[in-house]
Structure 1
Amino acid sequence: MTPSHLLALLPPPELAARVQAFHVAHGLRDAAAVPHITVKARSGLDAELTWAQRAREVVASHPPVTVTIGGPRLFGNGSALYLHVDSPDAVRLHVALLDAIQPAQRFGYEGPHLTPHLSVALARRGVELPALLAEAQAVFADLETDPVTVTAHEVALMRKPGPGGFYAPVEAWPLGR
């Protein structure tokens, strides 16, 4: 099993706890078990971490990232239920990381058109995302009318041990001041 990595912003602990409680209440176990907002997906992030020094330099030179987390949505392709994130700062950091790492192949959603989000549930067998959306709209209704705005001062290096595992933080890299 080869581990995979990603770089992410972590939501406030209170919101992370709410998302994790939603996971427990609905028996969800997937790669998004630890709530996070991905700023660089696994493309180009090899297990040997040959990219890590370049990524650390980008993070260290980038100012803190402001994110506004709103209500639940479904991606049009049906891949995930997520909390909407509005953050031009996160997109700028994402593009800077892409420019520094230069992955040989990118996922189609990577680039300046990235949709920042906080995954709540990923599509998989036995998971009915449209039904979960209705539940999430009730549980996270407050975020629809009163989104949470926070400023992240670090980026988490997250690691997934292999298929069937979940991403968990292994290091925190401070953003520049």
Structure 2
Amino acid sequence: MVPSYLLAVLPPPELEARIQHFRSAHQLQDAAAVPHITVKARSSLSSEQLDWQEKLHEVVAQHAPLPLSVGGPRLFSNGTALYLEAVSAQAVDLHLALLDALRPARFFGYEGPGLQLHLSLALKRRGVELSELLTAAQTEFADLEGEPHRFTAQTVALMRKPGPGGFYTPLEEWPLLG
């Protein structure tokens, strides 16, 4: 098993609790077990060489805190996940700065200026009907449609997944420029 890494913003405790309650009520067990908003996906974050950590930690330390807005539930058009919509131009700017620091030869097609920030509720898996879960999520998170949950992230979490079938958990939090 090869571990993988990513960088993410963790939601505030009250929003995390709501997401965990929803996931528990629907017996969801997948890689989105710890709610997070990815700002740098696992591409180019090798587990064999960890020299990228220092470089990216410096980028995070030089970036201002991130105002974020989390809205209602959506499904990705390719049907791979149910998520809460997240919006933050500053988080996308941080994402681009992290990519620039890495200068990867290859990265995921969804990375770059068009990054769609999101807070996953459920991932497509055998036995999980995301369209039915969307209906339940629209009821559970209806308040976020009219009035998104706003917060400012002061840190970015370095997260690690031990291998296939596991889920990402925070290893440490890196403070943003305060």
User: Under a length normalisation based on structure 1, what TM-score does the superposition of the two structures give?
Assistant: 0.98
Give the aligned partner of residue 103 of structure 1: 104
Show the 5 A alignment for 1:17-166. Answer: 17-47=17-47, 48-166=49-167
- Counterpart amino acid of residue 107 in structure 1: F
Structure-2-length-normalised TM-score: 0.98
Deviations 1:66-86 (A, max 9, x none): 100000000101111000011
Aligned-partner SS, 1:83: strand
CA distance in 1, matches of 2:175, 2:20: 25
Percent of aligned positions with the same letter in both sequences?
64
Which consecutive residues of structure 2, in runs of 5 or more, have no partner in the other structure? none
Q: CA deviation at 1:27?
A: 1.0
Aligned equivalent of 1:13: 13
Aligned length: 177
Letter matched to residue 25 of structure 1:
A
Per-residue displacement from partner, 1:39-91 (whole Å, max 9, x unpaired)?
00000001132210110010000000010000000010111100001110110
Q: CA deviation at 1:21?
A: 1.0
Secondary structure of 1:18's partner?
helix
Runs of 4+ in 1 over 6 A off after TM superposition: none
Q: Which residue identity is paired with 2:30?
A: D
Who is 1:3 aligned against? Answer: 3
Q: 1:11 aligns to what SS in structure 2?
A: coil
